[in-house]
Amino acid sequence: MWASKILSYDNPDVIDNVGLLIYADGLGRGKGRLETDHGQFDQRSEALFPSGCAGLYRKAMLDEIGLFDDEFFAYADDVDLGLRARLAGWGCVYVPTAKVYHKYSSSSSAYSPLKAFLVERNRIWVLLKYYPLGLILLSPYSTLKRLMIHLYGSLTKRGASGRFTEEHSVLEACAVLIKAWCSALSALPNIIRQRRSLSRRRRINSCELHRLFREYRISAREIALKE
């Protein structure tokens, strides 16, 4: 896999992402998001996996592991594909000279209930399909921590939650979360079958898997308080 340098379409000096990072409860987020581009990401390096906005994938890899999962519909489908590839032993290189200009969340409103629902539902699927059991057991704490910071953001009008509650209420946000959790858990038997199948095809050891989760982690604060 190859990840590109993705810049904001409306403000080309601002980074959208330079590959993706992951949080302890399954959420993915762009590395370097909303930073001014001063050349800090101009060195070719390893990345976890590309953003689905603009990534290059080797055909042999896709023939082996499959394509994007249609069940995700939108959001986190790139995380799903990227982790599937990593478990199968494929790597990813960040190529800073490959530049793309992205209209952020143009497929849906950036702060719509639909996007909030899909992001929350799909991150649970990612968590249950790919995360080590220990991290799954700890994930309720990680989610609670993230949601508390989201609540702070809603009250102080900061980050994505602050923008969401400019148009929608905190109660509506809670309703979206509950709907997403119910939808995610309704698919639990299928997710368990997929996890077992992926486990049989896994080619990396536990040390390497934990290295990826450790090296490419993102904080709850950065997720919650960045737009």
- Give the helix/strand (H/E) hosting 156: helix 133-156
Residues 193 and 191: their CA atoms lie apart, in Å, by: 5
Q: What is the pLDDT of residue 109?
A: 66
Nearest Cα to Cα of residue 198 among 77, 64, 93 = 64
Q: Say how many residues make up the chain.
A: 227
- Number of structural domains, the chain? 1
Burial 110-141 (b: 16+ CB within 10 A, else e): ebebebbbbbbbbbbbbbbbbbeeebbeebee
Q: What is the pLDDT of residue 116?
A: 92
Mean pLDDT of the chain: 94
First to last CA, the chain: 27
Share of the chain above pLDDT 70, in %: 97
The pLDDT tens digits for 160-179 are 888 888 888 889 989 999 99
To which residue do tokens 């994938």 refer? 57
Residues 134 and 93: their CA atoms lie apart, in Å, by: 28
Domain of 173 in residue numbering reads as 2-225
To which residue do tokens 């990072």 refer? 21
The pLDDT tens digits for 90-113 are 999 999 999 999 988 666 666 889
pLDDT higher than threshold 80 for residue 207: yes
Nearest Cα to Cα of residue 27 among 179, 185, 211, 218 = 218
Between β-strands 45-46 and 93-102, what pairing exists: parallel, antiparallel or unpaired?
Answer: antiparallel
Residues 21 and 223: their CA atoms lie apart, in Å, by: 10
Q: What is the pLDDT of residue 107?
A: 63
Q: What is the pLDDT of residue 106?
A: 63
